[in-house]
Amino acid sequence: MNNIKNTRLDNGLRVVSESLPHVNSFSLGFWVNVGSIHESAKNNGITHFIEHMVFKGTRSRSAKKISEDVESLGGYLNAFTSKEHTCFYGRGLSQHLEKTFEVIADLLSNPRFDEKDIINEAGVVVDELYDIEDSPEEVIFDRFESGIYSGLSLSYPIIGTEKNIRKFNQKELFEFVKKNYTSDNIVIVASGKIDHSLLVSLAEKYLKIPEKRFCTNEKIAKPAKAKNVFIEKDIQQTHIVAGIVAPGIKNKRRIAVGLLSHILGEGSSSRLFQSLREKNGIAYQINSFFNSFYDISSLGIYFSTSDLQVPKGLQIIERELCKLREKSVLAKELNRTKEYIKGNLLMSLESTTNRMMRMGNSILYYDRIKSTEESISQVDNVTIDEISLEAKRLLDFDKMNIVAMGSNNAPFSSIIN
């Protein structure tokens, strides 16, 4: 951890860097602590829309110049919006850090939000929305989360609704940025061949934004009871998601639940992959998932198969859940899962972008940099008894929220309300 430095400026802005002298490049991220969880039904989608709009031009740069200024130096620029955060990030050679930093800072400090660009980009984002609606896997997960997090802002889709997207105007965008893009709500994170003092000086020089946020983030409450849903769609395969509310990132139980999810259905050696795909040839796509947010998570199973195979697939899944609830996992299986998780973590650290992403999430969720050694230790310390306890708590098929999508509702008539 000696190569990681963390500075908080007088205006509340945090600057975090990890020096990796053996590489010749850097990954740089500007993390804004705002996502769709901070929206309302009226403005749902605005965080993602702003992520698009800042790339349409600033007071000093056109959309083309934003790209050219970074790409002409062999670099890369992108952004993403999640339910809890927005990240604007870039990669490049270490000698071009200042230019990449200045471009991203310009996006956040000086967006133009031209009315003509707003109208044009609304069309682009609506096309993105239609692309999502053409993807059964994405649609079914959006519907699953809207149900399981019903009553919470976590239920809002990141992209928003077509109605909202088409009505956003310049005033709304500027007001949202002024409220949320403030120095005490942003973390600048970099990994690679980085000089920390230079990074701090660049932050002081280029990032010109309000200092204080006008409101605090609200933490979420307990979600309402979800209902099982069938979505009729003319598709070849039937898609199913079954899941339940689980502990969030701040909860110590989360590590054990993550291991349980891996044992259940993450990886080709997992129980569901072996039982559904390898032994019975039922599903090409079969996996468990554990999607975590600060206060809450969802643990569940996703698979797709033909209409005829749905009843047998559900029967096998229920049987595997019962096995995990009723009989403890073997030490060999748990140790194999631990090694799988630790191996993936350590291999991911070979990428400066992954390292930057890990540090950004760590600061925003834990208000500190969580070391690799600490993460590995937490995995190693999970016991068989903890896995058994979480299985008994969470793996009851009858208590899971189920969303199914297909052209035939018959296989679900007994479970879908």
Predicted local distance difference test score (pLDDT) of residue 411: 67
The secondary structure of 114-142 as a DSSP string is -HHHHHHHHHHHHHHHHHHHT-HHHHHHH
Predicted local distance difference test score (pLDDT) of residue 211: 83
Instruction: Give the closest residue to 292 by CA, choosing from 261, 264, 318.
Output: 261
Angle at 64 between CA 63 and CA 65, to 5 degrees: 95
* Residue-wise pLDDT tens digits, 15-44: 999 999 999 999 999 999 999 999 999 999
Predicted local distance difference test score (pLDDT) of residue 214: 47
CA distance 97 to 193: 9
- DSSP bridge pairs for 15: 7, 188
DSSP state, 57? B
Q: Is residue 241 over pLDDT 80? A: yes
Average pLDDT of the segment spanning 70-75: 97
DSSP state, 270? S
Do 221 and 396 meet the contact criterion of CB atoms below 8 Å apart? no
Burial of 77 from C-beta contacts in 10 A (0-12 / 13-18 / 19+)? buried
* Residue-wise pLDDT tens digits, 133-172: 999 999 999 999 999 999 999 999 999 999 999 999 999 9
CA distance 168 to 173: 7
Between 407 and 287, residue with greater pLDDT: 287
pLDDT band, residue 221 (cuts 50/70/90) = low
Which conformational region is residue 113 in: left (phi greater than 0), alpha (psi within -120 to 50 degrees), or beta?
A: left
The pTM assigned to this predicted structure is: 0.93
Do 405 and 139 meet the contact criterion of CB atoms below 8 Å apart? yes
Helix (H, G, I), strand (E, B) or coil at 232: strand
CA distance 139 to 240: 11
CA distance 77 to 28: 10
> CATH 3.10.20.310: does it fit domain 4-206?
no
Predicted local distance difference test score (pLDDT) of residue 412: 65
pLDDT band, residue 414 (cuts 50/70/90) = low
Q: Is residue 216 over pLDDT 50? A: no
Domains 4-206 and 229-412 in one fold: yes
Tokens 């050694």: give the residue: 373
* Architecture of the domain defined by 229-412: 2-Layer Sandwich (3.30)
Do 188 and 202 meet the contact criterion of CB atoms below 8 Å apart? no
* C-alpha distances out from residue 195 to 3, 26, 350, 372, Å: 10, 11, 20, 22
Task: Please report, for the chain, the start and end positions of each structural domain, with discontinuous segments joined by +.
Answer: 4-206, 229-412
